[in-house]
Chain A
């Protein structure tokens, strides 16, 4: 059974930084397409970032230069380093695995507020 478990969500001040982790079991992070998708409270889904073969990465325009997606082969874990956070980044962040966003974690809440 595939499990993706996010951690690292927190309340952070504007301009601050946070790193989200997504630990996988039953699924190999290094061999699959991995994405981060976020959902603002009561709103829809928004794609954030993708890492795929050869550690190529893509980012949604509003997070380019601020967010970095990466993965650790030995820990089978996906990360999202988020810098210079703003109120617009407040959301539940989901890690997803698979070419079709097949598997989803339970989400990590990030709140950016002073």
Chain B
């Protein structure tokens, strides 16, 4: 069965510092991988996704993630945090042919200190 683990329910960084949000998945075959962001009182918005091809994926707002099959990881990074990045971030996986069934992690809340 697929599962997603996000290490750290809450991460705090200073403005301008590196953002690193961790995601590991469990799947018998390489899945599709997603990162979503949720701002307060809003729905989820796609940051980036990996389906096939290049393992380093660039997304919106300066975020990127790298698919590492050997580590079953898909960590999200941003070189320099902005105050506007404060939100909750969700990693999700989807097995090929699974009829749209996205499995989400529990989320990581990112705080950015001035």
Real binding pair: no
B binding-site residues for A, Cβ under 8 Å = none
A residues near B, CB below 8 A?
A: none
